[in-house]
Amino acid sequence: MHSLSVCAVKCVSAYASAVLKNGFPAACRRQLTTNSRQFVGHLNDDIALGSAMPNSTHDGCCESGTAVANGSDTDTQKMEFNPKRVLLLSKITRLEFERRRHPNLNESELELLLKTRGSDYERLLNKHNHHLSYLNLINSELNRAGIETRIVKRFNYTDDVIDWADAIFSAGGDGTFLLAASKIKTRDKAVIGINTDPTGSEGYMCLMRKKPADAFPEALQRLLSGDFRWLWRQRIRISLVNGRLDDPVELHDQELHVDIDEVRARQSSTTLSSEHRYPLLSLNEVYIGESQSSRVSYYELQLDSQPMVKQKSSGITICTGTGSTSWHFNINKLTNECVSELLNILNGTFNTAVEPTKDNVQKIVDQFNSRLVYEPDCKKMAYSVRDAIWNATFPRLPPRGFAERIRVKSRCFDANLVIDGGISYKFNDGMEAVLEMHPEDALRTVILG
């Protein structure tokens, strides 16, 4: 029998009949934001357009002026976007990645190496060339509009070039967008993502998502003519309490087999004598736990003003509304097999008479999973405890939920605090972190009207 989560049992037990017969009560309905609607766009129209039941803690958490799916944005003032200088942050393609990993190989030798590993060199080359073509299109269209541009990659994405620009365009996927956002610390500089691989990348955070390159000129014209809305994506501020903050490891550099001592030598260490609001911001999610997934993570956890409690698990993730479509979603999502088994149990135990047909099961799965996604401008964090261990020593907490302030104290010995999957800090025994959201940390992004 499949492993069934407690939250899944409760959800299906309480709502299966209501979902299948009457839908959710009107008071529980809401419209998903544009980001959330896009994410559940593959679902049936009745689900994607408002039958998803929210957690009540979502209510009233969104920043004024952000558009929602039904167009109920109260800010009718015409938007303005007239940058004089734009910085283009280009992703590193897989082919470029392999070239950097093997700098001593010529192209023929690299092709042979990739083929021996089972990789399709021609496909990688085609994707690389397609990205460069799209990047050149973005650059030429910006220049055609009278905008000065510079193109950089992550190794040259520095504070100096950021300060030079009025806006940042990321050319890649969601990973490139996260990298672009990671060094923006103020609300006055817009970050706009362009998905240069619409067939191979979802691009949830990108302006046009999966539209092809020939749609970019029109999208740019709409931006410059004010036919868009600002979307303030909330970010998590991580404050370290006592202890020493070691130099971070750039996980992208680690993938390239760069020596870790070399990575750390390029960055300065910071000692924290008291609570120091180090400028650590996360747009997607923060992961805290042992570096080896097979090892149990031991920590103390405080949610808002509740008491600090000891916990053991496979680590904890804390995400934003932007990140709710990613790791958070995949940790908590229901499967069809799980719902089918639960319905059989309910029917046998309580005579609910909800048949586990394919359509019924799919509807419940879609309803539950769509609830996991929430607005990017929501000022609350969603936490997920992975594989929690509950016993007399470690009391049960809800495995997922929302909070405005989260405090974590490490009792681990080889743990990391990882921001957006790209930057990792050692987070071992005695170290404490406080996670909060502040309006001034929100990232300025756009959505087309």
Whether residues 397 and 316 share a domain: the answer is yes
Q: Which residue has the higher pLDDT, 116 or 353?
A: 116
Report residue 383's pLDDT band, with 50, 70 and 90 as the boundaries: very high
pLDDT score, position 101:
93
Note whether 428 and 244 are within 8 A (CB).
Answer: no
Give the contacts of 398 (CB within 8 A, at least 6 positions apart).
7
- Does the residue 432 lie in any domain? yes
Whether residues 253 and 216 share a domain: the answer is no
Structure tokens at 224: 């410059």
Whether residues 182 and 242 share a domain: the answer is no
The percent of residues above 90 in pLDDT, for the chain, comes to 69
Whether residues 165 and 251 share a domain: the answer is no
Query: What is the average per-residue pLDDT within 376-395?
Result: 92
pLDDT score, position 279:
67
Query: What is the average per-residue pLDDT within 64-85?
Result: 58
pLDDT score, position 378:
96
- Does the residue 55 lie in any domain? no
Whether residues 244 and 219 share a domain: the answer is no
Rg, Å, the chain Cα set: 23
Q: Which domain holds residue 303?
A: 236-267+278-333+372-441
Give the contacts of 238 (CB within 8 A, at least 6 positions apart).
278, 280, 281, 282, 286, 417, 419, 433, 434, 435
Pick the closest to residue 190 from 211, 213, 168, 157 (CA basis): 168
Whether residues 161 and 119 share a domain: the answer is yes
pLDDT tens-digit series, residues 99-121 = 999 999 999 999 999 999 999 99
- Cα dihedral 360, 328, 310, 295 sign: positive
List the end-to-end C-alpha distance of the chain, in Å, as a whole number: 47
Whether residues 390 and 257 share a domain: the answer is yes
- Does the residue 135 lie in any domain? yes
- Does the residue 357 lie in any domain? no
Q: Which residue has the higher pLDDT, 242 or 127?
A: 127
Among residues 226, 258, 293, which one ends one of the domains? Answer: 226
Pick the closest to residue 7 from 321, 286, 338 (CA basis): 338
Whether residues 322 and 403 share a domain: the answer is yes
The mean pLDDT of the chain is 82
Report residue 128's pLDDT band, with 50, 70 and 90 as the boundaries: very high
Whether residues 192 and 287 share a domain: the answer is no
- Does the residue 356 lie in any domain? no
Give the contacts of 359 (CB within 8 A, at least 6 positions apart).
none
Report residue 190's pLDDT band, with 50, 70 and 90 as the boundaries: very high
Among residues 193, 226, 259, which one ends one of the domains? Answer: 226
The domain total for the chain is 2
pLDDT tens-digit series, residues 317-333 = 999 999 999 999 999 99
Q: Which residue has the higher pLDDT, 73 or 386?
A: 386
- Does the residue 26 lie in any domain? no
Report residue 221's pLDDT band, with 50, 70 and 90 as the boundaries: very high
pLDDT score, position 253:
56
pLDDT tens-digit series, residues 34-67 = 344 333 333 333 322 233 333 434 555 655 444 3
pLDDT score, position 242:
75
Q: Which residue has the higher pLDDT, 395 or 202?
A: 202
Query: What is the average per-residue pLDDT within 119-147?
Result: 98
Whether residues 165 and 302 share a domain: the answer is no
Whether residues 425 and 309 share a domain: the answer is yes
Whether residues 256 and 146 share a domain: the answer is no
pLDDT score, position 79:
86
pLDDT score, position 364:
96
Report residue 72's pLDDT band, with 50, 70 and 90 as the boundaries: very low
3-class SS of residue 152 = strand
Q: Which residue has the higher pLDDT, 245 or 345?
A: 345
pLDDT score, position 414:
95
CATH number at residue 307: 2.60.200.30
CATH number at residue 90: 3.40.50.10330
- Does the residue 60 lie in any domain? no
Query: What is the average per-residue pLDDT within 206-217?
Result: 96
Is residue 7 predicted with pLDDT exceeding 80? Answer: no
How deeply is 17 buried, as exposed, middle or buried, from its count of CB atoms within 10 A (0-12, 13-18, 19+)? middle
